[in-house]
Amino acid sequence: MDPPPLEGVIKDVVCAFCGCVCDDIEVTIKGGVIESVKGACGLGLAKLLNYSRERVYSPMVRRSQSFVEVSFEEAVEEAADILVNAKYPLLYGWSSTSNEAVRLGVELAELVGGVIDDTSVTCHGPTTLALQETGVVTATLGQLKNRADLMVYWGCNPGHAHPRHTVRYSAMAKGRFVKGRRERRIVVVDVRETPTAKMADLFVKVQQGMDYELLTALRMAVKGYTIEVEEVAGVPRNMIFKLADMLTSAKFGVIFFGMGVTMTAGKGRNVEEAIRLVQELNDHTKFTILAMRGHYNVTGSGAVMTWLTGYPYAVDFSRGYPRYNPGVTSSTDILMRGDADAALIVASDPVSHFPMKAVENLSRIPVVVIDPRWSPTAAIANVFIPSAFVGIEVEGTVYRMDKVPIRAKKLLEPPPGVKSDVEILQALIDRVKARKLKGGG
């Protein structure tokens, strides 16, 4: 590929921030840096304009409680030492890097007999379990934009988390057959009236943690059963029947759901119930369901792990072959139990997101961090290797939330000496292999 221009406008840039993976951004480069951005939302804009903040440009290792700068080779050597000497290393992160890097992560996990897990353990892991349990009727965002005349947002607030979702793919989007908001009905089911709820035709306020009950009541209403109580999950019976009517009378519907469904009481069972509702709605009309995935490549990391191991996350190689048992082999559970004796964290910040007990145990073991920027997790690392930003300083393949693969572009050269995740992981694999050949682990 030709080197990126130092000056000029680059069109159709891919925003590597959230699961929408918008690929229509325009970026102006001046003097080798991003000068302006057109078309991105506030989140994408902030990432593209501030990518050079909180960067570290040299690999570092911890010596007597402080960090010292070292060469790339020394950092890789020390990281390989940590992984080869561990009995049960955890390789966590992966949702904010390319599929090519995840592929190498799986190879490394197998080599060192560790567990590879991505951030879905704290977001849509229960969705994955539910999809495996029940199967799913789904569609791409393109199909939904063109055809869906009823859109339900359940336990998600794209107004804040996926700001261009409604404009580019859903409520407001101009489709081929459904021309826009005026030809669509919008429903929001949530525990509070969010900004997304304010634009809905119907807002259904569900009691906290009672999504399963409401979904079950909706299934009953869709099947024509009587609901004997006045309200379910804080929703009046007449509103449940009204919503059931809206769902069955749509020509093509979709439920977009978020962590308000997956991370509240019921978790994966909520998702199973939502999928069953959608399956039953297909007796009446065409209906689909799609998870609102957060990180820009959390869908891709799960897909790559599935191609290579048969399992989408929490894959354990400690017996020499892949095993999968979320709740046991998932990163939060491993760290809560204190089972991992080393960790490699790639493009992620578990210290800011994991339960306190897991963070305490993570801080007690040797940790290698590969990340473009400094973070609370980097602060507890034994080895820190800075990496280039995917979609800014290095290209790579990522998967949008609907599993459509998109090639993220390289816009700029990375800072001198800063390598891509792919280059760093390949160097680490080569060192681990060399150490193992020498009988070092």
Footprint of ligand SF4 (CB under 6 A)? 15, 17-18, 20-22, 40-41, 43-44, 162-164
Nearer to ligand SF4, 14 or 314 (CB): 14
Residue for token pair 């029940």:
134
Take residue 228 and report the two structure tokens written for it. Answer: 């004997």
Q: How large is the C-alpha radius of gyration of the chain?
A: 23
Q: How far is the CB of 234 from ligand SF4 (least distance, A)?
A: 31
Contacts of 303 (CB under 8 A, 6+ apart): 99, 312, 399, 403
Q: How far is the CB of 135 from ligand SF4 (least distance, A)?
A: 28
Nearer to ligand SF4, 22 or 255 (CB): 22
Asked if 29 and 412 count as a contact pair (C-beta separation under 8 A), the reply is: yes
Q: How far is the CB of 123 from ligand SF4 (least distance, A)?
A: 15
Q: How far is the CB of 296 from ligand SF4 (least distance, A)?
A: 6
Asked if 320 and 421 count as a contact pair (C-beta separation under 8 A), the reply is: no
Q: What residue type is assigned to position 266 of the chain?
A: G
Q: Is the dihedral of CA 22, 26, 32, 33 positive or negative?
A: negative
Take residue 173 and report the two structure tokens written for it. Answer: 């989007």
Nearer to ligand SF4, 43 or 49 (CB): 43
Q: How far is the CB of 19 from ligand SF4 (least distance, A)?
A: 7
Q: How far is the CB of 96 from ligand SF4 (least distance, A)?
A: 12
Nearer to ligand SF4, 205 or 403 (CB): 403
Nearer to ligand SF4, 294 or 312 (CB): 294
Q: Within 65-223, where are the H helices?
A: 72-85, 99-112, 125-134, 141-147, 158-161, 165-168, 211-222
Asked if 425 and 104 count as a contact pair (C-beta separation under 8 A), the reply is: yes
Q: How far is the CB of 337 from ligand SF4 (least distance, A)?
A: 35
Contacts of 238 (CB under 8 A, 6+ apart): none
Nearer to ligand SF4, 18 or 362 (CB): 18
Q: How far is the CB of 152 from ligand SF4 (least distance, A)?
A: 20
Nearer to ligand SF4, 219 or 295 (CB): 295
56/70 Cα distance (integer angstroms): 12
Q: What residue type is assigned to position 142 of the chain?
A: G
Cα–Cα nearest to 307, from 287, 322, 296, 297:
322
Contacts of 102 (CB under 8 A, 6+ apart): 94, 118, 297, 300, 301, 304, 305
Q: How far is the CB of 117 from ligand SF4 (least distance, A)?
A: 24
299/19 Cα distance (integer angstroms): 8
If DSSP codes are grouped into helix, strand and coil, which group holds residue 340?
A: coil
Residue for token pair 């949702």:
95
Nearer to ligand SF4, 45 or 358 (CB): 45
Nearer to ligand SF4, 43 or 202 (CB): 43
